[in-house]
Structure 1
Amino acid sequence: MPSNRITEIHVKGLRSLADVRLRLDGLTVLIGDNGSGKSSLIEACELLQRAASESFAEDMIRIHGGVGSLLRAGAEHLELGLVIALEGGFHERFEYSFALDRSGVILRELLDWVRGELDDGDAVMEQRVGIISREGGLYRSSSFRFLIDEKDVPPVERTIDPKRLALSSFGEFPPHWLIREALAALRAIDVHLPFDTTARWVQRSRGQPSPLRGAATIEPAEALSRFGANLPNAWSALKNDFSEAHWRETMDYVRLGLGRDVESVNVRADPGGGSIALRLKYAGLDEQIPSFAISDGTLAYLAFVALYRLNTKKSLIAFDEPETHLHPELLQRVLGFLEAMAKERPVLLATHSDRLLDGLSDPARSVVLCELDERRATTLVRPDPDALRDWLTEYRGLGDVRGAGHAASVLTRREGRGFTCSC
């Protein structure tokens, strides 16, 4: 499990994200108009997660449509990167970034270890060590240099396919501990979209089953997968892989949202064998309710409880529109889960929900407005804490302030732009 924290992501050339650097600390909630870049920032997190895979180049085409389909109009390259603070390190972090041209060729890739030391005046002096250094090219075999764990050994040079990332090219045994840390942090980015709770009759009419409403092949579950596809296995793990006290507490969270008459969340083996399906048992009802008959909001809430209670250590959890399917009261319960998870790792949300904003315990710290400038490029704006404090004497939350048309009086602190690419 990764123990390091992602403290920043930066994106350049991705749709409206011309040049954006987003600081991450606890819970970050993206708001803004449609097309302002919120979902593109979520997708950037997914791209960074895939950078740890040897199939990154193929996934970029198969899943994201290739670099050309992601590039902002007029942009010559796409650049992605992140900053990760090392646990227990004094002013110590590592920075990883890469840039690709329209055809998917890697133009630049850097992994730097940055260490800080105090000088005689207690100022922090930074030392930067290049762990991976690479410049690519379309008409020649790309090469890169990297350090190994042994001391006083000069950088090693290696050739590589121009479209393959160096970071993920070492197989199971990377030569430097920081490469292992970087891979672990990227792999532990967890990106979620609204849970697929499509009604059974809709599934059948279009021939596309919803994994939440049907049986799932029996598999171990350490975390909830995207769309909640492994929800039956997640609940099986919660019931069987943890202590009785953990299970009782899990059911307390279920009843907190769904009512005291929920007796249990169960899984039942499929008669055909090899798979299990979710069942919900209410007191006073002899029959358990199968997943295909559970309401959208109830099913989504059960997925959020599983996401929270499995609580696998992630380096970043990103969720686009978590309010989908949820009654406002259930949304507040889910927001409590997300804020609790954000105490251990960054949680990034994108939302249109004023009710979610009203429920934030620290909106001045959490909220980031995405808005487009005159070039239709995303800029990031945070609330002014003093102005927000004044408005909250009259309104129940930032969502209420926004709904009344006063957001411009509160959201006034612009974030800095991103980095300069040397490509």
Structure 2
Amino acid sequence: MTVRLPWHRLSTSAVLRPAAPRLGTRLNHRILGLTVRNFRTLTDVKLPLGALTVMVGPNAAGKSNVLHALKFLGDVARKGIEPAVDTRGGFDVLAFRGGAKPVSRISIGVTGIWSGFASAGDPDRYELTINRPRLPERARERYTTYRGERLFQHPSADAPTSVELTRDQLFVTDAGNAEPLTLVASSGRMVSALQHPSPLPDGSPSAEAIAAVSRHLQQIRVFDPDVRAARQPSPISGEGRHLDDNAANLADFLKTLYEIRDQEQDGRRVIWENLLRDVRTVIPNIEDIHLVDVPERSDYISVELEESGLRGRTRLKDASFGTVRLLCLLAVFHDPNPPLLTCIEEIDHGIHPHALELLAGRLREASRRAQFLVTTHSPAFVNELTPEEFVVCERDRDGSSIIPAYTTDEVRERIEASEGMPIGELWFANALGGGL
């Protein structure tokens, strides 16, 4: 059945069956895996994602590109495909530049749980492709560019549905319809269903699934603290309940954590107490953290550190790089309401090795509230991981990334063969990759 309606004009609820009551709907939305083809060095990557995933490997192995691929999907959901591509330099910059011929397709997909009856064994799937085939010599333009999107979901028991968006058409396969539904989409070949209003009826299973995936992807953040910005006073605002991706509003966010009281524990500031205890553990000379108004700027707040043996307080703008970065990371790990997925590159950067054990423990605790994907070069940090949390990244001779380079079972086998040597030591000894 084909319905020829513009993108915005489909309103009849008779086209698709209404959403059935979703008894047993799962609220624990999460991403279970990432699939990437021809995005920078990621030519064929299938990466499982758990609550905590830590990638290791030499420089230029592709670890950062994994984070960038996820951030790219988040930007598509927030801004659209073309802005996400353009801000990264265009198709030629994003596409894999190895091989005999230029690639004509980039694809990034995620599996996860978004609809009511999806599960780890039978997950939902979303995939975005950006196609740029070369046109015949006589054509006015050298290339044409268009997107493709596919979404497979489980809105009801034993009744999966799918949505496929091609150049100008939207195909919907629903268990309640005898044949697929085809809609003519007239909003352009690079419009994403994640970012643009859906032409599907409000309340339909497919429309709800697209909205759930979009909300999840919009929450992906790559946390990369800018220590210089984090040192500065920050304006007090309602946005302080979320820490910026670059931690520029650190003072305001710390104020938010300080003001949270636990009613089950007599109104104590439990989160703040735990944060302060961790800071004292890894930086013993810090006795207290003070949040103070900025003179002549009543709408700004700053951070000052009370240190043992010193008169007065140390302004955060005068604190060491490692102290500020550690405070940024601990603030993230103590966030009671984090984004659904946080990526952190080189989590060990600027951190004393003896502090990494505590950071690993707090990161694992935080992963009970949300997912974390991080990279590291520190064997000491890797020593704190389990085989399920550990991913080795390597680079092939053709310039493409091999991720993961070892399966979880292979990691366990290497550990057993070494008679229980810690993972970080095995990796550093080149028994699990690790070489340059």
Deviation at 1:151, TM superposition (A): 9.3
- Select which of 80, 95, 99 maps to 2:125: 95
Name the residue aligned to 1:345. 370
Whole-angstrom CA distance in 2 between matches of 1:75 and 1:375: 14
Whole-angstrom CA distance in 2 between matches of 1:55 and 1:390: 49
Whole-angstrom CA distance in 1 between matches of 2:275 and 2:89: 40
Whole-angstrom CA distance in 1 between matches of 2:229 and 2:219: 23
Deviation at 1:365, TM superposition (A): 1.4
Whole-angstrom CA distance in 1 between matches of 2:254 and 2:195: 33
1:67 aligned onto 2:91: yes
> Residues 29 and 367 of structure 1 are in contact (CA less than 8 Å); yes or no, is this contact kept in structure 2?
yes
Deviates more, 1:96-105 or 1:76-85: 96-105
Matched letter for residue 185 of structure 1? H
Could you say if the C-alpha distance between residues 218 and 261 of structure 1 is closer, same or farther in structure 2, counting changes exceeding 3 Å?
A: closer
State the structure with more CA Rg: 2
- Select which of 324, 328, 335 maps to 1:299: 324
TM-score scaled by length of structure 2? 0.78
Name the residue aligned to 1:236. 255
Whole-angstrom CA distance in 1 between matches of 2:194 and 2:429: 48
Deviation at 1:296, TM superposition (A): 0.9
Name the residue aligned to 1:144. 170
Name the residue aligned to 2:301. 276
1:378 aligned onto 2:401: yes
Q: Secondary structure at the match of 1:190?
A: strand
Matching of residues 138-217 of structure 1 within 5 Å? 142-145=168-171, 156-170=183-197, 175=202, 176-193=207-224, 195-197=225-227, 210-217=228-235
Name the residue aligned to 2:22. none
Could you say if the C-alpha distance between residues 57 and 407 of structure 1 is closer, same or farther in structure 2, counting changes exceeding 3 Å?
A: same
> Residues 286 and 305 of structure 2 are in contact (CA less than 8 Å); yes or no, is this contact kept in structure 1?
no
Whole-angstrom CA distance in 1 between matches of 2:311 and 2:212: 51
Name the residue aligned to 1:81. 109
> Residues 67 and 101 of structure 1 are in contact (CA less than 8 Å); yes or no, is this contact kept in structure 2?
no
> Residues 333 and 363 of structure 2 are in contact (CA less than 8 Å); yes or no, is this contact kept in structure 1?
yes
Deviation at 1:261, TM superposition (A): 4.6
Whole-angstrom CA distance in 2 between matches of 1:259 and 1:174: 59
> Residues 5 and 87 of structure 1 are in contact (CA less than 8 Å); yes or no, is this contact kept in structure 2?
no
> Residues 232 and 267 of structure 1 are in contact (CA less than 8 Å); yes or no, is this contact kept in structure 2?
no
Whole-angstrom CA distance in 2 between matches of 1:168 and 1:234: 28
Deviation at 1:37, TM superposition (A): 0.9
Whole-angstrom CA distance in 2 between matches of 1:269 and 1:241: 22
Whole-angstrom CA distance in 2 between matches of 1:267 and 1:27: 35
Whole-angstrom CA distance in 1 between matches of 2:46 and 2:112: 14
- Please list the CA deviations of residues 384-421 of structure 1 after superposition, one character each: whole Å capped at 9, or x if unmatched: 3132133254x4x222223333335x99xxxxxxxxxx
Whole-angstrom CA distance in 2 between matches of 1:378 and 1:116: 38
> Residues 26 and 343 of structure 1 are in contact (CA less than 8 Å); yes or no, is this contact kept in structure 2?
yes
> Residues 80 and 192 of structure 2 are in contact (CA less than 8 Å); yes or no, is this contact kept in structure 1?
no
Matched letter for residue 177 of structure 1? E
TM-score scaled by length of structure 1? 0.80
- Aligned residue-pair number: 378
> Residues 39 and 320 of structure 1 are in contact (CA less than 8 Å); yes or no, is this contact kept in structure 2?
yes
Q: Secondary structure at the match of 1:329?
A: helix
Q: Secondary structure at the match of 1:386?
A: helix
Seq. identity, %? 20
Name the residue aligned to 1:368. 391
Whole-angstrom CA distance in 1 between matches of 2:276 and 2:177: 52
Deviation at 1:55, TM superposition (A): 4.2
Matching of residues 123-134 of structure 1 within 5 Å? 128-130=160-162, 132-134=163-165
Whole-angstrom CA distance in 2 between matches of 1:370 and 1:174: 43
Q: Secondary structure at the match of 1:228?
A: coil
> Residues 160 and 166 of structure 1 are in contact (CA less than 8 Å); yes or no, is this contact kept in structure 2?
no
Could you say if the C-alpha distance between residues 177 and 321 of structure 1 is closer, same or farther in structure 2, counting changes exceeding 3 Å?
A: same
Deviates more, 1:6-15 or 1:350-359: 350-359
- Please list the CA deviations of residues 99-136 of structure 1 after superposition, one character each: whole Å capped at 9, or x if unmatched: 1135793331112114796xxxxxxxx75411x32112
- Select which of 148, 160, 168 maps to 1:108: 148
